[in-house]
C-alpha cells in the first residue's frame, strides 16, 4: 500500500463544494470516481479541509491510498486525462503512510478577490465579487492588522457551526492590489486553521469597514465579545480561493 | 433618432462569435434581443468587427439607433439588468448619426494569452492556451519586431477569406509577462485592421518560433512570399481577446 499526496486546483463554479454528497456533485466524488475508473477499485480521497459550494482552489491538498505501482508523475497525467478541465492535479508525490492532509496541515492561505468598479467585467465574474462603493483602503488595512494574531474568532463563524474551540491564530492578513489590474483588491489570510465561513465573514467585514459602515475598531470589539452581529455579512463564495496548504518540513 | 455607442465586454466561451446566425447564438443577437425587450422594437447592432466563436472581448465597440430618450447611463444599467452575466455593457454614450463602429475604427488592439507550464490551472482554462514546451523569448521578440509595420499579411490569413487587400499596418506587436503570474505570456497586437484569423495565426507562428520549429526570419519570408504554409497554425480561439478599438478624436 502507498499513500499519494496530490495538490489540486479547481474552478468551484460547477460543484457543490469539496465533500461527496447525495443529489449534488462534490469535487471529492469526481476524484474518487476518476481513481476508481483508472484502477478498478473504490478510492477514498481525504482533503486538507472542505471547501464550500462555489469556492475555488489553487492548491488544495488531498491524499489517498493506492495498491498500484504507477509513478506519481504518470499518475498525475493519467488523472488529468480523465478529469474534467475544471479540476486539475497540479502535483503528485508519494508520502508516508502516516501522512494526513487535515491533521498534519500547519497553515493555510486563502485569498478573497474583489473587483472595484461599477460593472463586473465578464471575464472576472466567476472569480471575484463586485464592489461599487468607494473603499477607504487605509481603514481596511487598520482592520486587517487587528485581525492578525491568536484570537477567539467566534464572531467570525457562521452560527451553529460545531467546533471544539473557536480560537485560531491568523499569521497574516493583508490586502494587495493586483499588479495586472488596479481595480482588483485581494485579501490574503494565512492561519493555522479557519472556522466555518471565517474567511468570507472577514472579507464581508473588511468591505463594511472599507465603505464606512463599520469603524476599523469594530473588528476588535467583535473579537473581544464574540458577537456575530458585530462582524459583517458572509461575502459570496465565488470570491474565495484556497491558495495553499503548508505541512511541516515542506 | 439617436445613435448610441456602447463598449461591451464578453466571455466568448458560450457563444458562436459576434454575428447573428441560424442554429447558434451570437452576441449580436443577445444584444438585439435585449434592446427589443427593453424598447419594444427590433434593433440592429453593428460592431467594430466580428469576433469568432470562443473569442473574448474586453472592449468591443458597437452602435445602434434608438428613438427613446433614455440617458446613456440609464441605458447601460437597463441593458445590464437584462443581459446574461457573460456579456456586459461597460460604457454607453450618444454619438453622431454618422458614426460607424467599423468604418470609423482607427486601430484595434488584440491580446493573445498563453500559460507556460505543464498543466493548465482550471481558473485560467477559459482564457488562455497551454504551452508546455520551453519558449525562447528572445527569438519570439525578434519575430514580433519583424511583424510590425505595413506589410502584405496574406500568409497570416485563413485560406479562402475574401478581402480586397491583404495589406495591413501593425503599429505594435509586443510580448508581456503578466505582472501577477510569470507563467502567463501575453502577445499584444495593435493595427489598423486585421485579416480573418490573422492574430491567431500570428500567435501560432510566434509559438513555433518560441519552441524552435521556426527561425524568427521565417516571419519575414512568410510576409514576403505570402505563403500561408510558412506561417504557423491558427492558435485556438479561447486565448484571444479584443482589448480595445480606437476612433479619431477619442
* CB within 8 Å: A85 and B10: no
The whole-number pLDDT of residue B213 equals 96
List residues of chain B with CB under 8 Å from any CB of chain A.
9-11, 56, 58, 76, 80, 85-90, 119-123, 125, 127, 178-180, 241
Q: What is the pLDDT of residue A32?
A: 98
* Domain co-membership, B237 together with B142: yes
Q: Are residues B55 and B174 in the same domain?
A: no
Q: Are B93 and B5 in contact (CB under 8 A)?
A: yes
Residue B196 forms part of a structural domain: yes
Q: Are residues B122 and B161 in the same domain?
A: yes
CATH code at position A170: 3.30.70.660
At B163 the pLDDT is: 74
Which DSSP category does B202 fall into?
H
Residues B75 and B162 in one domain: no
Give the count of domains, chain A.
Answer: 2
Does A250 have pLDDT greater than 80? Answer: no
Contact A122 B86 (CB under 8 A): yes
Confidence of residue A136 (pLDDT cuts 50, 70, 90): very high
Q: Are residues B49 and B117 in the same domain?
A: no
Mean pLDDT of B238-248: 97
**Domain end position, chosen among B95, B116, B136:** B95
Domain termination site, one of A95, A121, A140: A95
Q: Which residues of B touch A89 (CB under 8 A)?
A: 119
Range of the domain at B58: 2-95
Say whether both A91 and A111 belong to one domain.
no
A172 and A221 housed in the same domain: yes
Q: Which residues of A touch B (CB under 8 A)?
A: 9-11, 56, 58, 76, 80, 85-90, 119-123, 125, 127, 178-180, 241
Is A101 a domain residue? no
Residues A112 and A82 reside in one and the same domain: no
Tell me, yes or no, whether A206 and A115 share the same domain: yes
Let me know if A52 is a catalytic residue.
yes
Q: Is residue B168 part of a domain?
A: yes
Q: In Å, how far is B28's CA from the nearest CA of chain A?
A: 16
Residue B100 forms part of a structural domain: no
A95, A130, A149 - which closes a domain: A95
Residue A123: list chain B partners with CB under 8 A: 9, 11, 56, 58, 127, 241
pLDDT digits (tens, 9 = 90+) for A157-209: 997 777 789 999 999 999 999 999 999 999 999 999 999 999 999 999 999 99
Mean pLDDT to the nearest integer, A42-64: 97
- How many other β-carbons are positioned within 10 Å of the β-carbon of residue A158? 13
pLDDT of residue B162: 72
Q: Which residues of B touch A121 (CB under 8 A)?
A: 9, 58, 88, 90
pLDDT band at residue B83 using 50, 70 and 90 as cut-offs: very high
Distance of CA A90 to the CA centre of its chain: 16
CB spacing of A122 vs B88 below 8 angstroms:
yes
pLDDT interval class at B249 (50, 70, 90)? confident
Residue A85 lies in a domain: yes
pLDDT given at position B195: 96
Helix A72-82 × helix A27-39 angle, to 10°:
110
Same domain for A231 and A141? yes
Do A49 and A132 share a domain, yes or no?
Answer: no
Cα dihedral B71, B74, B79, B81, rounded to 10, equals: -170
Q: Is the ipTM of this complex over 0.90?
A: yes
**Residue B102 domain-assigned (yes or no):** no
Domain membership of residue B149 (yes or no) is yes
Domain co-membership, B17 together with B116: no
Average pLDDT over residues B191-214: 97
Asked, for residue A100, whether it belongs to a domain, the answer is no
| A100: pLDDT strictly greater than 90 | yes
Does A77 score more than 80 pLDDT? yes
pLDDT in tens, B118-176: 999 999 999 999 999 999 999 999 999 999 999 999 999 997 777 789 999 999 999 99
Place of cell 437584462: B82
User: Who contacts B51 (Cβ-Cβ below 8 Å, separation ≥6)?
Assistant: B12, B17, B18, B27, B57, B60, B240, B242
Amino acid at each position: 500500500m502507498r499513500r499519494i499526496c496530490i495538490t489540486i486546483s479547481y474552478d468551484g463554479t460547477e460543484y457543490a463544494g469539496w465533500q461527496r454528497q447525495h443529489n449534488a456533485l462534490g469535487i471529492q466524488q469526481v476524484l474518487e470516481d476518476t481513481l476508481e475508473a483508472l484502477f478498478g477499485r473504490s478510492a477514498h480521497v481525504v482533503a486538507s479541509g472542505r471547501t464550500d459550494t462555489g469556492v475555488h482552489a489553487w492548491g488544495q491538498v488531498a491524499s489517498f491510498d493506492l495498491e498500484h505501482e504507477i509513478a506519481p508523475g504518470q499518475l498525475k497525467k493519467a488523472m488529468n486525462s480523465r478529469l474534467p478541465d475544471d479540476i486539475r492535479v497540479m502535483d503528485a508525490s508519494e508520502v508516508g503512510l502516516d501522512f494526513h492532509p487535515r491533521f498534519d496541515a500547519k497553515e493555510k492561505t486563502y485569498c478573497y478577490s474583489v473587483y472595484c468598479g461599477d460593472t463586473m467585467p465578464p471575464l472576472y465574474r466567476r472569480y471575484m465579487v463586485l464592489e461599487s462603493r468607494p473603499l477607504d483602503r487605509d481603514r481596511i488595512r487598520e482592520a486587517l492588522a487587528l485581525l492578525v494574531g491568536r484570537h477567539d474568532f467566534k464572531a467570525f463563524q457562521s452560527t451553529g457551526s460545531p467546533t471544539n474551540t473557536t480560537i485560531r491564530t491568523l499569521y497574516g492578513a493583508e490586502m494587495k492590489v493586483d499588479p495586472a489590474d488596479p481595480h482588483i483588491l485581494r485579501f490574503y489570510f494565512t492561519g493555522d486553521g479557519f472556522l466555518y465561513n471565517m474567511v468570507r465573514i472577514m472579507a464581508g467585514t473588511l468591505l463594511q469597514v472599507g465603505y464606512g459602515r463599520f469603524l476599523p475598531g469594530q473588528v476588535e470589539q467583535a473579537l473581544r465579545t464574540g458577537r456575530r452581529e458585530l462582524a459583517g455579512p458572509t461575502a459570496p463564495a465565488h470570491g474565495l480561493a484556497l491558495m495553499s496548504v503548508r505541512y511541516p518540513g515542506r
